[in-house]
């Protein structure tokens, strides 16, 4: 065997130092000086800064919404009584939502007691941390689509890696400055923690495209299960995920990879469903989905058909169902029976207009930057003014005027962040079109973009776009760099 003496001598560290120690020091140094820290600092500054402004203006209430109590009260009950009850003084087990967010809040409450300001800060830091998985995902995507297919004529591996890292930094920066991500990070809701988990799922899914190892499927199932425990919108994500895993698994291991994914996913969600069955709602993940199917999705669809207010129709239906349950305690004596009946009523409405109901799940308005959340934190506007009804009945322009109610001047405050968010969507379309011919890319988009947009239903609340944003950042950064290098090559 030929031995290169010079190369061998160069591997021996001088002065008695060790190569492993030198390599480890170099890795630590590279981590500490990585430019991603600057992006994270920017994300942290914007989110914590917004939290400071909101807390100084109106206190913790600024960062709460109607749903906040359904997370906080069970968290307090968990700390006081060791179980997730609806409230600390209630004997009714909490089944409205999955347990993840309440357990997380209980952990924070155990450290900070009832100082909810620190919880707002912690959620802001968690929201800023999304830049890390977005960076990793964009770097993987750029390697797989631009560098590996020869779209970039580069022979130097170091240059390729630099460009992949630049793609990651670009996507992370987009995540750091995106208006919706900033305005929702401090809110005491499950949307942003769920989005961070989805971003990590995207990293594992992209890793699965690159290498067909055995670990990705169970890790993806575990992350998906934990995400579902935080927000029930992640429960049905297992369906497109199974298709994705099956497509990317090697021929001889396809069945085993799908089984590994499902086992790790079900190990997370089945214990909670078993607990809910004992709590009296049957084998359901939560008691919210069947109820919302009728009182939210169907109410909005019927309101659109009849021209009524969805809020008034929902209130009317709830009152009618409450009277029915009270009048027939044998038939509707348990919450399981009530939820089954509500689901049957919803399905009857859907069967009468299935095409319209399907169209209700196509809501492009949900992709608009979440300026309302920012304005509410800053005290410029107020929520719960029936804006969604106005939007659905009279269009975007009238809804904007209704919502801002004479404070349209405040739109200039959010323009520096809203305009890049809109341009980002155009770049994302460009980024997708560069790789649309691949079945794998369609499956990726179906699982991480179309699913989260379709699951929203007729409620086009901008914060519901959050789980779809990580892939948008990835597509956008790839398109931006492609355009940049094409312009530079021509120059």
d(CA 94, CA 85): 5
The full 3-state SS of the chain, as one line of letters, equals CCCCHHHHHHCCCHHHCCHHHHHHHHHHHHHHCCCHHHHHHHHHHHHHHHHHHHHHHHCHHHHCCCCCHHHHHHHHHHHHHCCCECCCCCCCECCCCCCHHHHHHHHHHHHHCCCHHHHHHHHHHHHHCCHHHHHHHHHHHHHHHHHCCCCCCCCCHHHHHHHHHHHHHHHHHHHHHCHHHHHHCCCCCCHHHHHHHHHHHHHHHHHHHHCCCCCHHHHHHHHHHHHHHHCHHHCCCHHHHHHHHHHHCCHHHHHHHHHHHHHHHHHHHHHHHHHHHHHCCCCCCCCCHHHHHHHHHHHHHHHHHHCCCHHHHHHHHHHHHHHHHHHCCCCCCCHHHHHHHHHHHHHHHHHHCHHHHHHCCCCHHHHCCCHHHHHHHHCCCCCCCCHHHHHHHHCHHHHHHHHHCCCHHHHHHHHHHHHHHHHHHHHHHHHHHCCCCCHHHHHHHHHHHHHHHHCCCCCCCHHHHHHHHHHHHHHHHHHHHHHHHHHHHHC
Contact status, residue 268 vs residue 99, Cβ threshold 8 Å = no
Neighbours of 18 (CB within 10 A): 9
> How crowded is residue 485: how many other Cβ atoms within 10 Å of its Cβ?
16
User: Among 468, 27, 95, which Cα is nearest to 275's?
Assistant: 95
Q: Cα angle at 101 between 92 and 336, to 5 degrees?
A: 35
Distance between CA atoms of residues 391 and 388, nearest Å: 5
CA distance 364 to 380: 25
Residue 85 bridge partners (DSSP): 93
d(CA 302, CA 308): 8
CB-based contacts of 238: which residues, under 8 Å, 6+ apart? 221, 224, 228, 261, 262, 265
Please report how the helices 216-230 and 254-279 are oriented relative to each other, as an axis angle in degrees rounded to 10. Answer: 20
List the structure tokens of 287: 């008691």
pTM: 0.89
The tokens of 162 are what?
Answer: 């630099």
How distant is the alpha carbon of residue 357 from its chain centre?
24
Give the integer Cα–Cα distance in Å for 49 and 383.
22
For residue 487, the number of C-alpha atoms closer than 13 Å in the C-beta half-sphere is 6
Distance CA 419, CA 177 (A): 11
Closest CA to 448 of 255, 269, 223: 223
Q: CB-based contacts of 435: which residues, under 8 Å, 6+ apart?
A: 145, 441
User: Which tokens go with 130?
Assistant: 């999304």
Greatest Cα-to-Cα distance within the chain, rounded to the nearest angstrom: 93
Q: Are 369 and 418 in contact (CB under 8 A)?
A: yes
Q: What pLDDT shows up at residue 47? A: 97
Q: For each of the chain's 491 residues, which pLDDT tens digit applies?
A: 444 433 443 444 444 445 555 565 665 666 666 899 999 999 999 999 999 999 998 899 999 999 999 999 999 999 999 999 999 999 999 999 999 999 999 999 999 988 999 999 999 999 999 999 999 999 999 988 876 665 555 556 677 888 899 999 999 999 999 999 999 999 999 999 999 999 999 999 999 988 776 789 999 999 999 999 999 999 999 999 999 999 998 888 889 999 999 999 999 999 999 999 999 999 999 999 999 999 999 998 999 888 888 889 999 999 999 999 999 999 999 999 999 999 999 999 999 999 999 988 888 778 888 888 888 898 877 665 566 666 666 666 676 666 666 666 667 777 887 888 889 999 999 999 888 888 999 999 999 999 999 998 887 788 999 999 999 999 999 999 989 888 888 87
The label of the residue with tokens 């004596």 reads 333
Query: Could you tell me which residues are beta bridge partners of residue 93?
Result: 85
Query: What local confidence, expressed as pLDDT, does residue 8 receive?
Result: 40
Backbone angles phi, psi at 212, to 5 degrees: -105, 55
């Amino acid at each position: 065997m030929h031995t290169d003496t010079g190369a061998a001598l160069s591997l021996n560290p001088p002065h008695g130092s060790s190569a492993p120690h030198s390599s480890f020091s170099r890795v630590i140094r590279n981590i500490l000086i990585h430019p991603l820290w600057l992006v994270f600092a920017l994300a942290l500054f914007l989110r914590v800064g917004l939290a400071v402004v909101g807390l100084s203006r109106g206190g913790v209430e600024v960062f709460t919404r109607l749903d906040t109590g359904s997370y906080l009260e069970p968290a307090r009950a968990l700390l006081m009584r060791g179980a997730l009850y609806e409230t600390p003084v209630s004997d009714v087990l909490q089944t409205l939502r999955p347990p993840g967010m309440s357990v997380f809040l209980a952990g924070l409450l155990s450290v900070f007691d009832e100082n909810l300001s620190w919880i707002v800060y912690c959620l802001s830091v968690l929201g800023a941390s999304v830049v890390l998985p977005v960076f990793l995902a964009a770097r993987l995507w750029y390697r797989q689509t631009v560098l590996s297919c020869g779209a970039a004529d580069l022979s130097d591996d170091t240059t390729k890696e630099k460009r992949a890292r630049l793609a990651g930094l670009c996507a992370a920066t987009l995540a750091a400055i995106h208006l919706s991500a900033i305005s929702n990070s401090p809110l005491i809701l499950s949307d942003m923690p769920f989005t961070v988990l989805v971003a990590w799922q995207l990293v594992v899914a992209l890793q699965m495209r690159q290498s067909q190892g055995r670990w990705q499927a169970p890790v993806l199932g575990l992350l998906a299960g934990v995400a579902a425990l935080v927000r029930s919108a992640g429960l049905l994500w297992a369906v497109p995920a199974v298709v994705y895993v099956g497509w990317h698994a090697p021929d001889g291991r396809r069945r085993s990879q799908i089984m590994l994914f499902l086992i790790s996913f079900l190990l997370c969600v089945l214990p909670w469903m078993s607990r809910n069955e004992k709590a009296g709602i049957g084998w359901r993940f939560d008691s919210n989905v069947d109820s919302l199917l009728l009182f939210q999705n169907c109410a909005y669809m019927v309101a659109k058909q009849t021209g009524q207010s969805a809020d008034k129709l929902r209130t009317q239906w709830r009152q009618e169902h409450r009277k029915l349950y009270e009048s027939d305690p044998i038939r509707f004596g348990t919450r399981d029976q009530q939820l089954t009946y509500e689901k049957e009523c919803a399905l009857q409405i859907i069967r009468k207009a299935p095409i319209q109901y399907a169209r209700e799940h196509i809501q492009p308005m949900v992709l608009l930057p979440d300026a309302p959340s920012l304005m509410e934190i800053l005290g410029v506007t107020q929520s719960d003014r029936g804006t969604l009804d106005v939007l659905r009945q009279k269009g975007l322009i009238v809804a904007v005027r209704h919502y801002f109610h004479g404070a349209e001047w405040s739109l200039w405050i959010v323009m520096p962040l809203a305009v890049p968010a809109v341009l980002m969507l155009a770049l994302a379309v460009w980024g997708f079109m560069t790789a649309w011919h691949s079945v794998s890319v369609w499956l990726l988009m179906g699982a991480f973009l179309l699913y989260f947009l379709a699951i929203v239903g007729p409620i086009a609340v901008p914060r519901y776009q959050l789980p779809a944003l990580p892939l948008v950042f990835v597509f956008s950064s790839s398109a931006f760099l492609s355009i940049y290098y094409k312009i530079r090559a021509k120059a």
